[in-house]
Each structure stands twice: as structure tokens, then as C-alpha cells.
Structure 1
């Protein structure tokens, strides 16, 4: 397949999957439940945090997280008390438990009270063509509060050679200007051109078959290679191809 043929093929797959039908089977549906900016970005952050494993279970447990916060995530973050945190203790999604959830609530409150909110933190430390340093600095700010050491593993650090799939997916939801109603695009201070593909086993395997990726591990170096190749096809909106790679892998078994 020539470069032009590959781009045409993937552009067709983006059209096939980047539409509202995608939402019903994807955790991006959780931030779509809300209309206030802070509710959207908090709901997105928490549901992206637990987005690994069975997709139905991810969505079920994300809904449970919202219910535990009274379906008013921003208000809960800003005005919770110790009893509210105690009610989270029975929550569990794989290795993310109620104590982790409580730490995340406190970390988010710290971000809003002391760092100007989620968009403000991620908008700092942007590099010319990458948000990976922004993610690294966000993690540092998030864990300035007292927390369990174990909770740190639930936010990846790309500067430690992690592909940071879940947080790159979250940034796609918040930043990408999507006219199809999937990505929410509510953050205006970050260019979609700087986004990175949420690299996981599905998108990685498809990318290797299409010779967009040669590295065998799904790590930070692989992400940099994939980003470079996707930006050649669309420098302004490279992560739209996540829909194509993920759709081909999950829905078509490509």
C-alpha cells in the first residue's frame, strides 16, 4: 500500500468510526452526560483513569463513580467532607480501589483550588509538538497532596517511557475539535496538533500491520514513532486516526 493509499484507507475508517454510534460502546459517553465545563472534564478524567479491561465494566464502573458523587462531580470535588470520602471506600475497578478514588477526589480539589483547574494545568509546559511534558508536570501537581504511594501508578508518566494511553485518550476527548459529536473539544488553549494517539494493544497491533509502527513494545518510544507517522498524514488533527486504528482492531479484528 502506498502512502497515499494508506491515508485514503485510514481516512475512510475515520469517517466510519468517528460518529455518534461510537459513543454507546465507549467510556467517552460519561463526560457527555454533563453540560458544565468542570463536570465534563472531571467526569472525563475519572472515567479515563479506569479505562482498562472490559469496556462494559469500564462504563458500568464509571457510571457508579458519578453516582457516588451525586452526579455533580465538580460540586462533590469542591465541597466533599470526610463522610463523603468514606462512602467511596467500597468502590473498586481492577486495581483502582476506594482509597485511590478518595485520593483522586482530594487531588482534583487541589488542582482546582491551587492550580486553576484541569485545563490550566495541562496547558502549561506544552512543547512545540507534544503534551507529554505537560502530562508529567500534571502528575507532579496532582500528587502534591498527601496520598498513598500506590495511588501514583494510576497516572502514567510519559517521561518514564510510558505510552500513557488513558491520559492521552482523555486529552483527545477534551482538546480535539470534533464536528461529529464524539470528542468534546471544550479546551481551547491546547492545539489538537499536539495530541498523541492513545496507544494500546489494539491500535498498536493495527499500526504495526500497516507499517506505521515498527517498535514491538507499546511504550513511550513507540508512541513517538506512531505520532510522527500520523502527523505526516494530518499534521493538524493526527489523533483522528485513533478512531481508524482502534476501530479496525476492536470491531474488525484487523
Structure 2
């Protein structure tokens, strides 16, 4: 074990895994809610829209949930057809009204039958599984199980079956599953173990991890995410993804310099 690398990761994880991290990060969106289902729904949308500058992501998420009157779960279950018209002008990057309306349709279908979005992932993950791969594959299949789903929306829900790094969904699972006393991640879900989480490979994390020798693969895909997480497990096998804070924070510091 590289002791100097461990010390760096521990120091930076402690520095960035704190309430001050929340305000400028998309995780601030689900932190505006108290109800479990509101946190799940807003977290999923915030993770999916987490593309581009963080200030823009947060602003577009706020705009999205204003269209739901800031009661996501209630809106999902009880909206009327005419309520959907307000989403026709919504757009963030390549996510548009067609995508928004399908997300709402799927979530309504799902929450009419389930109390928590956790089972959409956890039912396919065995306690003996080393990671969440089967859960991500199952979620993708379940998400697109409604008839006549728009093909264009597929690009917004990644799957390891296509060798995607699944960075947004891995970030979402980190938010929902990790539980500590730092106040950032929610720890709402208990059927998935923190040790099974995979580190989100965003641009900052990918760049820093390569510089630190935690990634050797030339491309960034699902196997790369597995490689990174396996290397982080040597420092903390029970909660390797807490070092996501360290890698992301180091990347932000480098960019600021």
C-alpha cells in the first residue's frame, strides 16, 4: 500500500466531505427536500442532468422542480395531463421535453407500485455481489420497460451492458447509499452495501486518478470505473467511494489553479 497516497486521499476526503461541499454541487438539489421519495426523485433527476458547469446544472434542476411546484413525489403521483404542458419548453444540454415527459411517466408508473426507488436497483443485487453492476443493468431495463419509450432518452440512462462508466448513476447511488456523520450523502438506502458502490468517473476524478496511478486503462468506460474502485478498495474495502470526495476535490483545486 502506498502510504503517502493513502494520507493524501484521507486528508482530501476529510476536507471535502463536509456540509460546505453541498451548496455548489448538484447534491444541493435533493438536500432541499425532507421526504424520502422527494429526495430520491430529485436526486435522480439532478444526477442525470449533472452535465456541464455546476452552477448551470443547479439552476436547471431548480427550474425543473419549480415546474413540479417543489413537491416531486406528489406531482409524480397526482399530476393531470394539462400539468405536463409546462415541461414542453424545458431543456438542458441534450435533455429536452421528450425526455422529461418520459421520466415523469416512468416515475409515476413506478411509484404507483413501489414505495421507494431503491428496489429498482437493489432487487438485482445479491449480498455476495462485489459491485452494483447487476443493479444498474436491471434499472436500465426496468426504466425502458414502458411501451413506446422514446429511443432518444436511452442516452440519459447508462448501463454497464454497453460498457458505459455510468458516472451519473454511480454518483446517484453514492448519494443514496453512503452513510456517515458528514452530512453530505444521505444513506437512505440499506439494501445496497457501500462496499458495492463504484466510484463515479467524471472528468476531474478521471484526470486526478490517472495522475495518481489509480487508473491505467487508456479509455474511460465501465472497466475503468471497476479498476479505479478496486484500487480504492485497498485503502478502504468497506467504503471505497468516499475517496470520490478526495479525487473530485483535487480536480477542482487543480482547475482553480
TM-score tier by shorter-chain length is over 0.9
Cα distance, 1:75 vs. partner?
Answer: 0.5
Moved more, 97-106 or 127-136: 127-136
In the alignment, which residue of structure 2 is the partner of 1:15?
14
Q: Does 1:131 align with 2:143?
A: no
| TM-score (norm: length of structure 1) | 0.96
Give a deviation string over 1:197-219, Cα, whole Å, max 9, x none. 11011101100110011112111
Q: What pairs up with 1:159-198 in 2 under 5 angstroms? A: 159-198=161-200
Provide the residue aligned with 2:232 in structure 1. Answer: 230
TM-score by length of 2: 0.95
Structure 1 stretches of 4+ moved >3 Å: 114-117
SS at match of 2:176: helix
Cα distance in 2 for partners of 1:49, 1:78 equals 21
Match of 1:60 in 2: 59
Provide the C-alpha distance between the structure 2 equivalents of 1:159 and 1:116, rounded to a whole number of angstroms.
27
Unaligned runs of at least 5 residues, structure 2: none
Structure 1 vs Structure 2 CA RMSD:
1.3
Matched with 1:239 is 241
| 1-structure distance, mates of 2:44, 2:228 | 24
Q: State how far apart, in whole Å, the 2-side matches of 1:5 and 1:230 are.
A: 14
TM-aligned CA deviation for residue 129 of structure 1: 1.3
Q: Alignment partner for residue 157 of structure 1, among 156, 159, 164?
A: 159
Higher relative contact order (CA 8 A, sep 6+): 2
Measure the CA separation in 2 of the matches of 1:175 and 1:6. 26
The alignment of Structure 1 onto Structure 2 pairs a total of residues equal to: 253
Secondary structure of residue in 2 paired with 1:233: coil
Deviations 1:1-51, CA, capped at 9 Å, x for gaps: x61111111000001110011111100000011111000100100111100
Provide the residue aligned with 1:140 in structure 2.
141
Query: Residue 152 of structure 1: CA displacement?
Result: 1.3
Listed as ranges, the matches of 1:30-179 within 5 Å are: 30-114=29-113, 116-127=115-126, 128-145=129-146, 146-179=148-181
CA distance in 1, matches of 2:186, 2:109: 24
Q: What pairs up with 1:208-227 in 2 under 5 angstroms?
A: 208-227=210-229
- The secondary structure found in structure 2 opposite 1:202 is helix
CA distance in 2, matches of 1:98, 1:178: 37
